[in-house]
Structure 1
Amino acid sequence: MTFLKLPSNKRERDYNMAKQEEYIRKPDWLKIKLNTNDSYTGLKKMMREKNLHTVCEEARCPNIHECWAERKTATFMILGDVCTRACRFCAVNTGLPNELDRQEPERVAESVKLMGLKHTVITAVARDDLKDGGAEIFAETVRAIRRSNPFTTVEVLPSDMGGKEENLRTLMDAKPDILNHNIETVRRLTPRVRARATYERSLEFLRRAKEMQPKIPTKSSLMIGLGETKEEILEVMDDLRAVDVDIMTIGQYLQPTKSHLPIKKYWRPEEFREFRDIALSKGFKHCESGPLVRSSYHADEQVDAAK
C-alpha cells in the first residue's frame, strides 16, 4: 500500500489551523463577561486624558471589565509602558523606555482621588536601565497618594529592582500598606518563563522586605498552566511561607498571543479551590485562587485579611 504525500504547503496549513484551534479553544469556566458601561468608558477616558497606563490594559487582563465597570478599581502602571525585560508570558511592550516622567506620581494620586478609591495597586514595568530600578518614583507615588488620599491604602507591585537592597529600602521607607512581588512560576520553569529574574532572587526580595518592615504584609502570585506539577505548586507555597509571605494568589496562565508560551494545561476550578485550602492550611493569612485570578484581583478585599 502506498500513501500520498501531502504537499508541504498543505501540511503546513493544516498544522497551523490545528495550532490556531488549540490556541482559541478554552473551557467554559474561562468565558468572560464583557461590560462597557459608563464606569468602564469613563475610567478609560480619564486614563488617556492624564496620560496614565494600567497593567489591566497593557497585560490584557481578563478581569478588566469586571474591575473597571463593576468594582471601579484599576492597577496603575508607572514608569512608562515599555519594559526592559521580555518575559515569555507577558504582553507588556518590550524595548528602550522613555525618560522618567517626574509628574507621574501626582497624576496617579489625583486619579485615585477622582475615582474615590479605598485601596489602590501601583505596579510598574521593569526598568533595568535605571540605577535604582525606579524605586524613587515608586516611593514618591506612594507618598503623593498619601498626601491627597490619607484614607486610601496603597499596595505596591514592583519588579525585583535588580535585586539591590538599597532600591528595595527606598521603596519600603515609603511604607506602603502591602508589598506585592510575584514569584510567577515554579522553580524549574523560571529560566524559561521569566527574563533576567530568578526564583531565588524573588524569594530574597520578599524576605528582605519583611525584614525591613515586619508590620507590612507581603504578597506573591503564581500562574499555573505552563507545565508545572501539583508537587511543584506546593513547593512554591512552602518557599513563600519560609520567607513569611502573608498573602498568595493563584491563577490560570492565558497565552496573550501566539508568540508567547503555549498553555500546557487548564487547571479546573475545583483544583484551584483545593490549592486555596492547602495554602490556608500552610499558614497564609489569605489566598485568592481561581482560573481568572490575577495578582491584583479583588486586592481591595485582601487588606483586612492581611492585617
Structure 2
Amino acid sequence: MTEKPVLRHPEKARKPDNPSPRKPAWIRVKAPTSEEAAEVRRLMRQKNLHTVCEEAACPNIGECWKHRHATFMILGDTCTRACAFCNVKTGRPGAVDVAEPENLADSVTAMGLRHVVITSVDRDDLADGGAFQFVACIERIRATSPHCTIEVLTPDFRDKGDAVEKVTAARPDVFNHNLETVPRLYPGIRPGARYFESLRLLQRVKQADSSIFTKSGIMVGLGEERGEVLQVMDDMRSAGVDFITIGQYLQPTLKHVAVSRFVTPDEFEDYRAVARSKGFLMVAATPLTRSSHHADRDFEELRAERLRRQG
C-alpha cells in the first residue's frame, strides 16, 4: 500500500490555488548543484541543523551555498504561525535541541565564516519565544570563532516580556527583524504579527544598545503602493533602523498568496536611491534581495567604509 505524502502545510491543502503572473526575464536563479553546495548540505545533515535557505525555498540558495554561506535557522523547522508568504512548515514544534548552539558553532568554524546570520521559526510555545537559544548560540560562536561577526534575524517574540532585551544583551553585531510588508497588508500577509509592535521591537534594540546595528526588510509585489513603501522607510528611520533590504516576493507554492505584480529593476533602483537619501547606512534593493543575501559582503563593505572615513 502506498503511503500518503506528508504535506508541509496541511492547513493550506484545503485552500484554492492562487496562480501568480509569469516570472519576467530578470528573475533567474540557479539550482544548488555545485560541489560546495553539496558540502554545505552534508554538514547541515551531519550537525542536525536547519537553514532558512532550504526551509523557506530561498531563490539564492545556489549562489550562497556555492560560496559556502548559509543562514542558520534555529529552534527546529516547524513554526507556530502560518504567514501567507512563508514556505516554512507550520505545526506543533518539537523539543528544543540543547546541542544546537554547539553544533552551530562547530559549523561556523568548519565553513570558515567571517559573518554568520542566525534566524529562527516563531516559537510562541516557549516562555521567552526562544530568546534563550539565540543567546546560547551567540555566546558559543563568540567562544569558538571570536573574529566572526554575528547577525540575528529574530521573530517578534510577541508578548514575551524582556526577550528582545535578552538577545540585545548578548550583543550581536546586527539585530534584524523584518517588517515584511506595509501595515495595510498585515491582516492578509502577516496575520499573527502587528506592524507597530515590530517597529517598536527595533526601537527597543537601539534604546538598549545604540552600538548594535539594526536592520529590517520588506517584500514588494504584494499589492503595496509606492507611497506606502516610502512611509515604511520613514517609520524605520524614526525607529533608528540602520540597514534596509527590499526584495521581490516570490510565491513558494500555489497555496500561498499570489504575486500581485513583478516590480521592475528600475523601480528597485528608485527605492534604493530614496532609501539612501533617507539616511540608511546600508541599502539592498533588487528583485532577488533577501534579508541575509550578501549580508557578509554588505557588512564588510560598511566596516571598510567607516575605517576609511576615520582614517
TM-score, normalised relative to structure 1: 0.91
| Equivalent residue, structure 2, for 1:38 | 35
Structure 1 counterpart of 2:12:
none
Q: Does 1:23 align with 2:10?
A: no
Q: Which residue of 1 aligns with 2:272?
A: 276
Shift of 1:20: 8.1
Q: Could you tell me which of 41, 44, 49 is aligned with 2:46?
A: 49
Map of 1:221 onto structure 2: 217
2:293 to 297, 300, 303: 297
User: 2:29, 2:75 → 1: CA distance?
Assistant: 30
State the partner residue of 1:68.
Answer: 65
CA distance in 1, matches of 2:244, 2:302: 10
2:309 corresponds to which residue?
none
Deviation at 1:256, TM superposition (A): 0.5
Alpha-carbon contact 1:286-1:305 (below 8 Å) kept = no
Partner residue of 2:257? 261
Gaps of 5+ in 1: 1-18
Amino acid at match of 1:196: G
**Alpha carbons 2:19, 2:258 under 8 Å: kept:** no
SS in 2 for 1:231: helix
Aligned residue in 2 for 1:3: none
Identify if the C-alpha distance between structure 1 residues 176 and 283 changes in structure 2 by more than 3 Å, giving closer, same or farther.
same
Q: Report deviation, 1:52.
A: 0.4
Structure 2: where are the runs of 5+ without partners? 1-15, 304-311
Say whether residues 1:141 and 2:137 are aligned partners: yes
Q: CA deviation at 1:302?
A: 2.3
Q: Which structure's residues are more often helix, by fraction?
A: 1
Greater relative contact order structure (CA < 8 Å, 6+ sep) = 2
Q: Distance in 2 between matches of 1:184 and 1:98?
A: 26
Q: Tell whether the 8 Å contact from 2:244 to 2:282 is kept in structure 1 after alignment.
A: yes
CA deviations on 1:22-48 (whole Å, 9 max, x unpaired) are 537210100212351110101101101
Q: CA separation in 1, counterparts of 2:79 and 2:59?
A: 21
Q: In structure 2, what residue type is equivalent to 1:79?
A: L
Distance of aligned partners of 1:98 and 1:20 in 2 relative to their CA distance in 1, 3 Å threshold = closer
Q: Deviations over 1:76-100 (max 9, x none)?
A: 0000000000000000010000011
Q: How does 1:219-258 map to 2 (within 5 A)?
A: 219-258=215-254
- Equivalenced residues, count: 288
Say if 1:127 and 1:21 are closer, same or farther in 2 by CA, change over 3 A: closer
Q: 1:226 & 1:282 partners in 2: Cα distance?
A: 23
Task: Identify the residue that residue 98 of structure 1 maps to in structure 2.
Answer: 94
Label 1:126 to 1:101 Cα distance change in 2 as closer, same or farther (>3 A).
Answer: same
CA distance in 1, matches of 2:65, 2:265: 24
Given candidates 172, 179, 184, the residue that maps to 1:183 is: 179
Tell me the secondary structure at the aligned position of residue 20 of structure 2.
helix
Q: Identify the match of residue 122 of structure 2 among 126, 130, 136.
A: 126
1:157-176 alignment to 2 at 5 Å?
157-176=153-172
Residues of 2 paired with 1:205 and 1:304: CA distance?
25
Q: Quote the sequence identity (%).
A: 49
Letter in 2 for 1:50: K
Q: Counterpart amino acid of 1:44?
A: R
- Alignment of 1:81 onto 2:77: yes
How many Å separate the matches in 1 of 2:45 and 2:136?
A: 22
What one-letter code is carried by the residue in structure 1 that aligns with 2:188? R
**What TM-score comes out, normalization by structure 2 length?**
0.90
Task: Tell me, in whole angstroms, the C-alpha distance in 1 between the residues paired with 2:207 and 2:283.
Answer: 22
* Native 8 Å contact 1:75 1:122 kept in 2: yes
Mapped contact 1:163–1:205 kept (Cα < 8 A): no
How far does the alpha carbon of each residue in 1:116-148 deviate from its partner, in whole angstroms, 9 at most, with x for none?
Answer: 000000000000000100000110000111110
Which 4+ stretches in 1 moved above 2 angstroms?
Answer: 19-24, 304-307
Per-residue CA shift, 1:190-238, capped at 9, x if unaligned? Answer: 1111132110010000000110110000000100000000000001000
- C-alpha separation between the residues in 1 aligned to 2:222 and 2:71? 25
Partner of 1:14 in structure 2? none
CA distance in 2, matches of 1:295, 1:163: 24
